[in-house]
C-alpha cells in the first residue's frame, strides 16, 4: 500500500488494543489507539483517520453510543464494530444504528484477514 490506511482502534482493554494494533500494523495499516470513546473522539478531532474500529462493551460509553457520536460528527467515516459479542441481536442492532461493518473479534489469523479486507472495503 502506498498510502497506508489510518485506523483508529478504540478498546478499553490495553492488552487487546496492543495485540490487534500490532497485527493490523503488520498487515500494512497505520494504527492509532484509544482506550475510551472520549479519547477516540479527541483523536478524531485532530483529523487523519480513514476508519474507526471499535469494541462494543466498554465501561464509560458503549460502542453504540460511540457510534452515535461518530455518526453525528463524521457521518461518512467508516465505523467497524470489532467485538466478541456475536449474537444475532447485537449484529442487527449494530447495522440498525449505522455501523459500516461488523467483524467478530478473535486472535486468529483468519480473523485478521477478514478484518483487513473489511477495512479496505469500507475505506474505498
Q: Please give the full DSSP string across 10-56, using - where no structure is assigned.
A: E-S-HHHHHHHHHHHHHTT-EEEEESSHHHHHHHHHT---SEEEE-S
First and final CA of the chain: distance in angstroms? 13
Closest alpha carbon to 79 in 102, 59, 57, 62 = 102
Alpha-carbon span 76 to 13, nearest angstrom: 27
Q: Which residue has the higher pLDDT, 84 or 18?
A: 18
Q: Is the pLDDT of residue 72 over 90?
A: yes
What's the whole-number mean pLDDT along residues 91-112?
85
Give the CATH class of 6-123: alpha beta
Reduced to 3 states (helix: H, G, I; strand: E, B; else coil), residue 83 is strand
Beta bridge partners of residue 32, listed in sequence order: 8
Q: Is the pLDDT of residue 23 over 50?
A: yes
Q: Is the pLDDT of residue 2 over 60?
A: no
Average pLDDT, the chain: 91
What's the whole-number mean pLDDT along residues 50-63?
92
Q: 483529523: which residue's cell?
A: 47
Amino acid at each position: 500500500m502506498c498510502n497506508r490506511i489510518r485506523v483508529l482502534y478504540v478498546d478499553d482493554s490495553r492488552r487487546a488494543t496492543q495485540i490487534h494494533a500490532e497485527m493490523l500494523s503488520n498487515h500494512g495499516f497505520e494504527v492509532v489507539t484509544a482506550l475510551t470513546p472520549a479519547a477516540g473522539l479527541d483523536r478524531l478531532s485532530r483529523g487523519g483517520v480513514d476508519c474507526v474500529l471499535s469494541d462494543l462493551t466498554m465501561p464509560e460509553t458503549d460502542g453504540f453510543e460511540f457510534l452515535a457520536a461518530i455518526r453525528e460528527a463524521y457521518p461518512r467515516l467508516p465505523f467497524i464494530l470489532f467485538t466478541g459479542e456475536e449474537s444475532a441481536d447485537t449484529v442487527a442492532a449494530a447495522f440498525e444504528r449505522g455501523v459500516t461493518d461488523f467483524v467478530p473479534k478473535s486472535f486468529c489469523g483468519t480473523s485478521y484477514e477478514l478484518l483487513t479486507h473489511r477495512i479496505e472495503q469500507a475505506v474505498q
